[in-house]
Amino acid sequence: MPVLRLEMHPGRTLEQKRAFVQEATRVTVEILQCPQDTVEIVITEVARDAWAKGGKLRSDG
Amino acid sequence: MPVLRLEMHPGRTLEQKRAFVQEATRVTVEILQCPQDTVEIVITEVARDAWAKGGKLRSDG
Amino acid sequence: MPVLRLEMHPGRTLEQKRAFVQEATRVTVEILQCPQDTVEIVITEVARDAWAKGGKLRSDG
Amino acid sequence: MPVLRLEMHPGRTLEQKRAFVQEATRVTVEILQCPQDTVEIVITEVARDAWAKGGKLRSDG
Amino acid sequence: MPVLRLEMHPGRTLEQKRAFVQEATRVTVEILQCPQDTVEIVITEVARDAWAKGGKLRSDG
Amino acid sequence: MPVLRLEMHPGRTLEQKRAFVQEATRVTVEILQCPQDTVEIVITEVARDAWAKGGKLRSDG
């Protein structure tokens, strides 16, 4: 702990994930003042037909 | 926010998901009195060998 | 299962929560076609200084 | 309820999952003193390129 | 990782929580074959007016 | 979406939370290339007697 969970739509590259966990960890360490090794991040991809906003699936645009 | 998360077994059609997010959003807006556009719903499907009740996997029925 | 999780800001009355779980369960049963007794709902209240949108805490308006 | 959620890397066999839900349910029933039938467990597998520790994806090990 | 999340109603003693995390960790290590130090457990207490089953809040009996 | 969830121990100031959501949002926008307004962050504080590592509650040191 701290644990960060990121939910996002699919489509990002491995390189983007790599950069995200590096930068998000740095921000966490600097601002929350915790050892770098304790920061964990879990990424979950949510398909567009599994997420709705305002009552409408994203896949229905 | 509000955010609703639905966990269910796979097998529902896209049409059922579409109807669910529409109706669940309507209920949320009416009862919790929030703008429709702020309601988000995330659907997660949990396979039957990834869910247990009473110490037994559902796939072991 | 199905399990529904609702995250919302504090401030709703017990009566609103009662109505929400009743109606959300009804919608779930009707559309996803599952026995009423299997539907569980967990409500989490998220304080305004614990939720941000666009990089700004809600409590900072 | 109680509900247990297990996040782990992929690679465990069905037999391990079966043993886990059986034993984890037994521990829950004995220590938390709840009826066995009320214990639910949901297992989520998190790929190694979706989990980071210390700012580094596990797949970059 | 593995991470275990336990949701339960309030009312358990610190001693019960202590025993639970000890035993649940032991089961996880033995069955999933992971180093003890990597097992994390997060406990969340869910009030009876924040959990519903079958469309009815638990606090409404 | 994206949604970020941060779990951490209590004790951080409002100013730290404010800085965290600002910086974490900036990192998300820059790396994942999404509009700033779509980034949401939910912060959950986990007490030391509700989190265990290696089978031992953090409050038991």
- Kindly report, residue by residue over E1-58, the tens digit of the pLDDT: 899 999 999 999 999 999 999 999 999 999 999 999 999 999 999 999 999 999 999 9
CATH number at residue E19: 3.30.429.10
Chains with 3 or more CB pairs closer than 8 angstroms to A?
Answer: B, D, E, F
**Per-residue pLDDT, B61:** 81
Give the residue on E whose Cα is nearest the Cα of D29. Answer: E20
**Per-residue pLDDT, F1:** 84
Does any CB of chain B come closer than 8 Å to the CB of residue C1? Answer: yes
**Per-residue pLDDT, F43:** 98
Average pLDDT, chain D: 96
How many domains does chain A contain in total? 1
Q: Do C53 and F37 touch (CB under 8 A)?
A: yes
Domain that holds residue F43: 3-60
Cβ-proximal residues to A57 (8 Å cutoff; 6+ apart), any chain:
A48, A49, A50, A51, B14, B17, B18, B21
DSSP letters of F10-51? S---HHHHHHHHHHHHHHHHHHHT--GGG-EEEEEE--GGGE
Residues of E within 8 A of D33 (CB-CB) are: 16
DSSP letters of B41-55? EEEEE--GGGEEETT
Does any CB of chain E come closer than 8 Å to the CB of residue A37? Answer: no
Neighbours of D39 (CB within 10 A): 24
- What is the pairing mode between strands D3-8 and B40-45? unpaired
Burial of A31-50, coded b for 16+ CB within 10 Å and e otherwise, reads bbebeeebbbbbbeebeeeb
Does any CB of chain D come closer than 8 Å to the CB of residue E43? Answer: no
Q: Do F52 and E36 touch (CB under 8 A)?
A: no
Q: Tens place of pLDDT for every residue, chain F, 61 residues?
A: 899 999 999 999 999 999 999 999 999 999 999 999 999 999 999 999 999 999 999 999 8
* Complex prediction ipTM: 0.94
Does any CB of chain E come closer than 8 Å to the CB of residue A3? Answer: yes
Residues of D within 8 A of C3 (CB-CB) are: 3
Q: Is-catalytic flag, D2? A: yes
- Kindly report, residue by residue over A13-55, the tens digit of the pLDDT: 999 999 999 999 999 999 999 999 999 999 999 999 999 999 9
